Amino acid sequence: MGAWRVTRPGPMASRPLDWARVPVPRPAAGELLVRVLVCGVCRTDLHVAEGDLPVHRPGVTPGHEVVGEVVAAGAGVTAFNAGDRVGIAWLRETCGRCRFCLRGRENLCPESRYTGWDADGGYAEFAVVPSAYALPLPGGYSDDELAPLLCAGLIGYHALARAELPEGGRLGIYGFGGSAHLTAQVAIARGATVHVVTRSAEARELALALGAASAGDAAPELLDAAILFAPAGALVPPALAALDRGGTLAIAGIHLSDVPVLNYQRHLFQERQVRSVTANTRADAREFLAFAGEHHLSVSTVPYALREADRALADLAADRVTGAAVLRAN
């Protein structure tokens, strides 16, 4: 089969990925072999390719927003059958025994493993996944539309919970790409007023079309909560300064550039707080996908052929993607 591999982590201009012919993987006990139909292109894939994240598996195949069809199952699998459409997300495996797993916070498991970082992912024609971490998918969406839900949607949904937005509150969203444009819709559906802060004219247009109250260089009013999607630490101080008393800033990315020095009185006093966001649990995933099945989300996608993954990542790095990039295997 064909697959992309990160062989030389570095800037996209250095061409860190290679296209290769590799054997089709075989599902071990408890695993599914999945034919990849569509794989979303996530900024985390870019961090893996460019070396912002440390190498966990040399030559890894990126991709963790996989919509696929089950073609075979390893011993002991009973929950899925050949022909079933399933999703493969970022969280791939946890120990199930540690204090975090037992508390329902498996995303903090010290032994957690991740698709497209610790194990090969969906920038390929086939992929394997532990069946216990494969996700049933809601109806009413195309494969292209489903793929971004499996990370962009999931992490945004978890970030929204971490931001503790009060009912009917004012939410600021900093950066407006694949994850943010889905999170905004969830918040609006729940009655929030959403203000989007982005430099992109195309993103501002999309934000307003999706129901944002404003889209510009700054929010026009104090915010009850905010989510930072852009991986820019320089945005943390202004995002905190825009919060009302008791407000929370959730930082949704797995990687962030350095945060400038904060002024306690201006940025943190009056019980303002900063929270990081670490992946999602399977319970989060099931809850979000059920929400997406009940409230149809408008998913803005930019399609690329699987063989164009390097170009898709370069476009993402250069902020040339409005919405979510997806790779089509056929």
CA distance 219 to 316: 25
The pTM for the full model equals: 0.91
pLDDT in tens, 120-175: 999 999 999 999 999 999 999 999 999 999 999 999 999 999 999 999 999 999 99
Helix axes 282-294, 154-163, angle to 10 degrees: 100
Cα angle: 184, vertex 262, 197; to 5 degrees: 25
- Taken in order of first residue, the domains within the chain and their CATH numbers are 2-151+280-328 (3.90.180.10), 153-276 (3.40.50.720)
CA distance 123 to 65: 10
The amino acid sitting at 22 is V
pLDDT in tens, 35-66: 999 999 999 999 999 999 999 999 999 999 99
User: Per the structure block, which two tokens stand in for 328?
Assistant: 């089509």
Q: Is the separation of the CB atoms in 23 and 85 below 8 Å?
A: no
- Decide: residue 104, CB within 10 A, 0-12 exposed, 13-18 middle, 19+ buried: exposed
Query: So what's the pLDDT on residue 323?
Result: 82
DSSP string, 163-192: HTPPTT-EEEEES-SHHHHHHHHHHHHTT-
pLDDT in tens, 64-86: 999 999 999 999 999 999 999 99
CA distances in angstroms from 117 to 58, 91, 282, listed in the order given: 9, 10, 18
Buried b (16+ CB within 10 A) or exposed e, 144-162: bbbbbbbbbbbbbbbbbeb
Q: Which residues contact 244 (CB under 8 A, 6 or more apart)?
A: 170, 222, 223, 224
Q: Strand pairing partners for 215?
A: 196
Q: What is the mean pLDDT of residues 108-120?
A: 98
pLDDT in tens, 295-317: 999 998 999 999 999 999 999 99
pLDDT at residue 240 above 90?
yes
